[in-house]
A and B are shown apart, each in its own frame.
Chain A
Amino acid sequence: MTRARPAQTLLAALATMVAAWPITTLFVGGAWIDGTFGLVLLGALLGMAGRALDLPPMLTLSCQLIGVTLTVVVTHLHDHLDTSLPSALRALGADAHHTVTAYAAPAPTSVGVIFFIELIIAIIAITVDFLAVTGRSPALAGVPLLVEFVISAANSGGSLHPKYSFALGLAWLAMLYAASERSARDWSGLRARIPGRPSNPTALLGGHDFGPLTRTAGVGALIAALVIAGSLPAASQKFVAKGLARGAGSGATVGFSSDLDLQRNLTDRDQSPVLTFRTADLNPPPLRALIADNYAGDHWVPDRPSYLLHGDNDSPLQRWGTNTAPTNATPYTITVTQNSMPPPFVVAPTQVSSADFGGTSWSYDPLTTQPSTSRLQEDYSVRYLSQPATARPTSETVDPANFTADLKVDSSSASLINALVKKAAPSGTRFQKVTAIQDYFRDSGGFTYSLTLDATRKDPSGRPLDPISNFLVTRQGYCMQFATAMVMAARSIGVPARLGVGFLPGTVGTSGSYQVHQSDAHAWPELYFAGMGWTRFEPTPGVRTGLAPPYASPTVGSPESSAPRRSVPSARSSRPSDSASSAPRTSVGTTSTAGHPQLIWLLWVLVALLLIAAALAIVPLLARWSRRRLHAGHGAGDDAARVQAQWDDLVSRMEDLGIDPAPQVSPRSQEEHYRLHLVVGREGRESLHRAVDVLERVRYSGRPGPSDDLSAPAEDLLMRIRRGRSFRTRVAATLFPRSGRRAVRSLFVRRDRD
């Protein structure tokens, strides 16, 4: 049983699961956890079995890989274990790819995502098991663990909570500790005992007590690292951000402007949050600051409130005219704890039912229920109505007389809008049509979210296209373009529509509160349906906005509806960690405005270089390791054995340099052989002779002493040989030494003893 090393195996499996912990921040729900855990356990058990049976390491590894892969395939694709398997795999791949590229974290856990998470983590677990337990290099096993952790960290947007790094560090330390225990046990079964004390009082893993050093050094380093890192990033991130900000040309903080030039807000890199709020709503809606009904050909004109009613804290707001409340809705509250929106602007969700601004006097427009204040109120709470996935309009028709401004289409882009509607939503009710249009923008229409707009195209007559048409032609833009186009599309099929402007809910901080930054600025269409009132739709792709509102999602009732949105990384360039979350996952290039792709590429290049370096280092390291084993095998310390080991070392290093070892054994005949095969000049031959002389003396004189040492002549000889060899041979000797390749081969043969 000790040969199987169950304790180390389970620790390796545990460490893999701990490294996978941050993945919970990437996907909604934990549907993948059970399966992954089972597979990791399966890999560990197979590894233990292989070791218990003393199989060659590579055979054990193969068994683990095959066993785990088969299990994943059979559990997920048991209906496709025939010729349809490749296509089923492709479908899973496409599904995973779609989920990963279409959504910001946390994304829904689709079947494909679960499949690939399970497979990848299981493979990492096997790698960790192979390195740490079979290969006895727990330190090296940190590399796959780090890769697993960094993938999660890079994709999660922002820094992870320190608990993840802390847990992983602890798990890795436990692996190192277990290996140290093991090597202490391998050192000797004989153990000095302390009189009057049971033989094994405080050992953690049934082995040895390393004393308080364990806690002090291990946990101390962990905590110190977390504390120091906690004090570092502010400065460092600012540095990166400043560099980028200069490139973008907008360094100064820009307040929220009512001219609806959202791009300025979107590219803003100010790190201080505009707003911090908490809510029990798992899927908080965007926060609206103002509304626009009138599109003036190339820009929106914000509405001025026509009426302002004085607001009473916590009493229901009046609704006038078309501002009807949804019939099927759940009330939620957001509590703003920090607010820096310049008055009179106050952000609040679309369907406000009541509000509490403390001592500050406030008012609201009964036509929109949009509150406003006269002076800045730092903290306030707003109660709002959130419509569930099942919300549907009670009637498809509205009276156009009530919505003249909200049904006015932009004439210059009307033809393209009509064509789009015809293509995206050829049939169905109006609600189905607008949902289809929304999905067309988000997903199937081939639109790309980008903060930079493509160059303005020209129409057949040579005139520059209007902004909406240009967007529909170039299919590239940010929320403002998407929202405007959708408003026009909705209006063209008779659905009243207007533009809401405000902020996405931002990012969830460690304390569970949301932080909204300038760069979270957002615009969206609000469409009127009877029974639903003014209802938000979300045509901007998921990479920026996360999931569509539940009632407008094609998969009604799916877990996606509870997924909070994440702001798009490229817009939040001052937080470089965001950038990695989107870049590898979006097929669309996030733009040069942000300047992040280069950094992301740098990261990937770095990772690739590290991997290449690690791969290149393996063979020479193995060579060195086998040489050291040679020393140990001779029971170093005994002078004769030491010199013999030095000689064997010299022979194997000469072999690395392409000089075959002598077939004969006696020192003199070996010297003759090497004299014949070496071109090293007189000094080299002298070194060879000196080395052989020492070897001979030690072998035959019987009383070797510590002064017998052939390392100096051996080094001299090797230096001379190396000088005489071609560059290629030297590189090959360094990178792929024969002794290393032999050591690699030896991995494939059965060990003599465990």
Chain B
Amino acid sequence: MARASATGRRYARARLTARGHALVAAGVALTVAGVALGYGDIIRVGLFLLLLPLLSVLLASRREVQLQLTRTIAPVVLRPDEPAPVRAVFTNRSGRASRFGAAQDRIDPSLGDRPRYTLPSIPARGTAVVEYTVRGRARGMHTLGPTTIEHPDPFGMCSADAVIPADDKVLVLPQTFPLVRHRLPYASGGEGDSGHSIALHGEQDVSIRAYVEGDELRRIHWAATAHRGELMVRHEDRPAYKHALLMYDARASAHRIDGAYSSFEWTISATASIGLLLHDLNYQTHLLGPEMLDQERYETASSSAEILRDLAEADECDDGMHAQVLAQAARTVAGGTTMVAVLTDRPAAGLRQVAASCGRGAVGIAIIVDTDAYQRDSDSEGADAVAVAREFQGSGWRTVVVGPRTTIPTAWRSVAGTAPVGEGMR
């Protein structure tokens, strides 16, 4: 639900159309000819042709009507291809009726065709309502507005344009795919799906439970014991959360973004799908992208909704920013963390360190997008991608190289573990 309201500028000065100009010229010529030849009828016709556009433009310029536009959109966060009804209310705040207008809302092309509608003459202090639907076809924050209104005159002699600068935003989430719920592999080997932590500060589990035999006496929480009338102990076990770091390569220089397949969109979509899956598998997921460096937001785990929102607005970055992401990833990963990286085949500073970080006990899954194959539009793996994959494999990562026609579920199935995670495993 979003509401925005803005008031239109007064009408721009009406301009003669080509037809208006032609008529003025014809009118002058006919009037002069009529006067010269003394033809009353030609003079009449000439004067009429001359006066009609001039009078039209005069009357159209005289009018200054202020229209206020309020748009209501619900919902404002859209899944891909989800329709969003828009209700636009035009309020005439002036003391006289507005003129007929042909209106068009400028909207982002990915929201569909620009909505066009006709605006009848709105009586003084009256309103007009128009409803239409937009559909988010591509992820991102999209703008509706401003609204341009063209006021034609009934004879096509002149036209005046007005712009109502009312902007509304809708957010379209990235496309996600259900991924096969395999148990994720882990590098330290053998202890089962035990919790891992990453070296993040600020987490203290201080739950309190009833005393059971064998608990250390020093763990008794005296205040709670007094309160409840039975022995209570502090439950200070290391939290059993599994942590995952999810990162992706957002370099503009690395991706192929034009053409039928965009490697960047694939990357974002894959990252979002994996993020949802990790959340589903009870991982505390930390998204690391160029936008997350700001205020170190990657330090706190994100909910699935937050991940989707962040990825919806994800943008390409330059190489320096990517280097910072990689450096941060290498620093952050500690033993036991699961790390999922959606990378490209382009070399980057710091990539080696990220690859090496897995050796410190972290689990690594790397999806390498073969942008070279994107450019060639072929399915054969490029040498660069294979080289990057080798390097990560050498450090103990599980890797997969994806081309333009690899689907995200397929890629995930080939890179994640083999055993499905049952509901009971959660």
Contact = CB atoms under 8 A, between A and B. Distances in A.
B244 to A, nearest CB: 31
Nearest to B27: A225
Contacts of B127: 194-195
A496 to B, nearest CB: 45
B258 interface: yes
Interface string A169-203: 10001001101100111011011111100000000
Contacts of A184: 100, 102, 118, 152
Interface stretch (B46-54, B172-180, B190-198, B347-355): B46-54
A602 interface: yes
Interface in B100-121: 100, 102-103, 106, 109, 114-121
B400 interface: no
Interface stretch (A148-156, A338-346, A647-655, A661-669): A148-156
A216 B155 CA distance: 12
Nearest to A638: B109
16 contacts: A139-B156, A149-B45, A150-B45, A180-B155, A183-B156, A188-B117, A190-B118, A192-B90, A193-B128, A193-B129, A213-B59, A213-B153, A220-B55, A221-B55, A222-B52, A224-B47
B24 to A, nearest CB: 12
A211 B97 contact: yes
Interface of B: 19, 22-23, 33, 35-45, 47-52, 54-56, 59-60, 88, 90, 97, 99-100, 102-103, 106, 109, 114-123, 126-130, 132, 152-157, 257-258
A232 B152 CA distance: 32
Given A139-B19, A218-B154, A221-B51, A190 B116 contact: yes
A109 to B, nearest CB: 22
Interface in A203-247: 208-211, 213-214, 216-218, 220-222, 224-226, 228-229, 232-233, 236-237, 240-241
Interface in A575-601: 575-577, 580, 599
A173 B47 contact: no
A188 B128 CA distance: 16
Interface size class of A (residues with CB under 8 A): 35 or more
Contact of B120 (A208, A214, A241, A700): A208
Of B41, B126, B258, most A-chain CB atoms within 10 Å:
B41
Contacts of B155: 173, 176-177, 180, 214, 217-218
Interface in A552-582: 575-577, 580
Given A180-B155, A192-B120, A221-B52, 7 more contacts: A153-B42, A162-B44, A192-B117, A209-B100, A209-B121, A217-B153, A221-B51
Nearest to A637: B106
A191 B120 contact: yes
A194 B123 contact: yes
B158 to A, nearest CB: 9
Contacts of A706: none
Contacts of A165: 41, 44-45, 48
Contacts of B128: 192-195
Nearest to B122: A194
Nearest to A139: B19
A213 B154 contact: yes
A606 interface: yes
Q: Is the interface of A mostly helix, strand, loop or mixed?
A: helix
Given A153-B42, A236-B35, A576-B39, A188 B118 contact: yes
Interface string A137-158: 0010010001001100110001
Contacts of A405: none
A159 interface: yes
Q: Nearest 9 CB-CB pairs, A to B?
A: A159-B40, A225-B48, A210-B154, A192-B130, A225-B47, A576-B38, A188-B116, A153-B41, A190-B117
Contacts of A603: 33, 37
A460 interface: no
B44 A208 contact: no
Of A139, A192, A193, A576, most B-chain CB atoms within 10 Å:
A192
Interface string A622-645: 000000000000010110000000
A356 B129 CA distance: 76
B55 A224 contact: yes
A237 B41 CA distance: 13
Q: Is the interface of B mostly helix, strand, loop or mixed?
A: mixed
A226 B23 CA distance: 17
Nearest to A625: B18
A348 B154 CA distance: 56
Contact of B43 (A139, A193, A232): A232
A229 B37 contact: no
A188 B149 CA distance: 13
A106 B375 CA distance: 83
A737 B114 CA distance: 33
A193 B90 CA distance: 10
B99 A213 contact: yes
A218 B129 CA distance: 30
Contacts of B156: 139, 176, 179-180, 183
B85 to A, nearest CB: 13
Contacts of B49: 142
A149 B47 CA distance: 15
A184 B118 CA distance: 7
Contact of B42 (A150, A193, A700): A150
Contacts of B36: 236, 240
A706 to B, nearest CB: 12
B153 A233 contact: no
A573 to B, nearest CB: 11
Nearest to A578: B38
A60 B155 CA distance: 26
A54 B39 CA distance: 42
B41 to A, nearest CB: 4
A213 B118 contact: no
B102 A187 contact: yes
Contact of A217 (B23, B55, B120): B55
Nearest to A599: B37
A247 to B, nearest CB: 15
A735 interface: no
Contacts of B126: 194
A169 to B, nearest CB: 5
A225 B51 contact: yes
A220 to B, nearest CB: 6
Nearest to A224: B51
A632 to B, nearest CB: 12
A702 interface: yes
Contact of A177 (B44, B47, B154): B154
B31 to A, nearest CB: 9
A570 to B, nearest CB: 15
A177 B152 CA distance: 11
B125 to A, nearest CB: 12
Contacts of B42: 150, 153
B90 A233 contact: no
A225 B43 CA distance: 8
Interface string A464-491: 0000000000000000000000000000
B39 to A, nearest CB: 6
Contacts of A190: 115-118, 130, 132
Contacts of B90: 192
A233 B36 CA distance: 10
A159 B39 contact: yes
B410 to A, nearest CB: 27
A268 to B, nearest CB: 17
Interface string A411-451: 00000000000000000000000000000000000000000
A367 interface: no
Nearest to B50: A225
A176 B43 contact: no
Interface string A681-710: 000000000000000000110100000000
A319 to B, nearest CB: 46
Contacts of A236: 35-36, 38, 43
B45 A146 contact: yes
Of B52, B117, B258, most A-chain CB atoms within 10 Å:
B52
